[in-house]
Amino acid sequence: MTQAVVLAAVARESVGKGTARAVRRNNMIPAVIYGDKLPPLMISMETKLMLNYVNKAGFFTHLFDIELNGKKHHVLPRDVQFDPVTDRPLHVDFLRVSATTKVRVQVPVHFTNTDKSPGIKRGGTLNIVHHEIEVLCPPSKIPESFEINLEGYAIGAAVHLSAIKIPEGVTYTSKETDYTIAAIAVPSALRGAVEAEATPAAAAAPAAGGKAAAGKAAPAAAAKAPAGKAAPAAKPAGKK
């Protein structure tokens, strides 16, 4: 569960590209607060302050209390526009939330105890399929992250959605019930050894079958010889 961080803001009376550029020249970032059936609020926030948060993991799962003219607005970040060249934030959208609001958020997935995974110890690599999991929940119950313990996972094993302990009041939005989140991939250098370990019985079966077939071939050939005729004797060595 996330705790709200208080951020200061000032009101913007006008909108447009020219106003937004003027705001940025003053080391501020234009932003908007919308939602909860209330009119949108155009605001500006200090660039230096916002840089402490927008570039951190989990920014979109953190709640903020934006203080504007002595009043606090409980919000959740929904979108950030970045400069394609400098990668600095240009505009931030905040969704106004309340106790009855339910939001869809992407919760990051963290993997722990990788040093206790037999598969990774052996040389396997963690192949992550989903770095984030989308959930639906009230803002007060948004998980900061999902942690998955990799202890005991062997090489070639898959980590499924059921490995996550989901908090009460939080539900997955996906219709798939137990999809794969990650897997301990087999490196090419070990693939032959791993496949041999996985199918020792299958490898032994053809060899056993081959011996049995060879044993049956001799009687079949003997049966084809004419009855009453013996095979010619071998000639002594040195005689023609």
Residues 47-76 have pLDDT tens digits of 998 998 998 878 999 999 999 999 999 999
Q: How is the chain split into domains, by residue range? A: 5-100, 104-193
Is-above-0.85 flag for pTM?
Answer: no
Confidence (pLDDT) at 204: 52
CATH architecture of 104-193: Beta Complex (2.170)
Which residues are CB-neighbours of 96 under 8 A, at least 6 positions away? 33, 34, 35, 36, 38, 73, 74, 75
Confidence (pLDDT) at 17: 84
Cα–Cα distance list, 36 to 95, 149, 225 (Å): 8, 38, 98
Alpha carbon distance 139, 144 (integer Å): 11
Query: For the segment 102-157, what is each residue's pLDDT rounded down to a tens digit?
Result: 999 999 999 999 999 999 998 899 999 999 999 999 998 999 899 999 999 999 89
219: alpha, beta or left? (left if phi > 0; alpha if psi -120 to 50): alpha
Q: CATH top-level class for 5-100?
A: mainly beta
Which residues are CB-neighbours of 237 under 8 A, at least 6 positions away? none
Confidence (pLDDT) at 190: 62
Rg value, the chain, Cα: 34
Would you say the CATH fold of 104-193 matches that of 5-100?
no
